[in-house]
Amino acid sequence: MRGRNRASARRELDALLGAIDEAFDRKAWHGPNLRGAIRGLDAAAACRRPAPGRHSIRELVVHAAYWKYAVRRLLAGEKRGSFALAGSNWFPRPDRPSPSGWREDVALLDSEHRRLREVARGLEPGRLHVRPPGTRTTPAGLLRGIAFHDIYHAGQIQLLKRLVRSRK
């Protein structure tokens, strides 16, 4: 890759890293990011469901952690099966509040974000638009997607928090 293209690819990777950080835990103009949406939330509020059969905030947090793991795994070319919990996508969490369980789920989210960021930082910038074998999207698409995923669920959590407060 030529010098100018290499610099452009590096800037793009840096911008994508900035986007995943802003969507997760860096100050943003749009309001709360994912980590900000759960800051200060207690286990009781995190476990409440807006209606029977609907996901709690705690389940949304573990879902977000899972997809950070899934994107990291795809970027690194790893096989499935190493997520901290058995299953995929949605993980039932107890309705009964457990402060230690809630802290563990938030710690899982934080850990998976750090691990994703580490893998993303190590990507070859010139390969951001090259689909790895067995995937349907490029590394750039995966990184954009995980940032959008965090923001989407941050918005859901903000709404759920308001519902929880209105039902007290």
DSSP for 8-77 reads HHHHHHHHHHHHHHHHHTS--TTS--HHHHHTT--HHHHH--SSTTSPPHHHHHHHHHHHHHHHHHHHHT
Rounded to an integer, the average pLDDT of 31-40 is 95
Rounded to an integer, the average pLDDT of 38-63 is 95
Residue 111, pLDDT above cutoff 60: yes
Residue 135, pLDDT above cutoff 90: no
Return the higher-pLDDT residue of 4 and 136: 136
pLDDT tier at 2, thresholds 50, 70, 90 = low
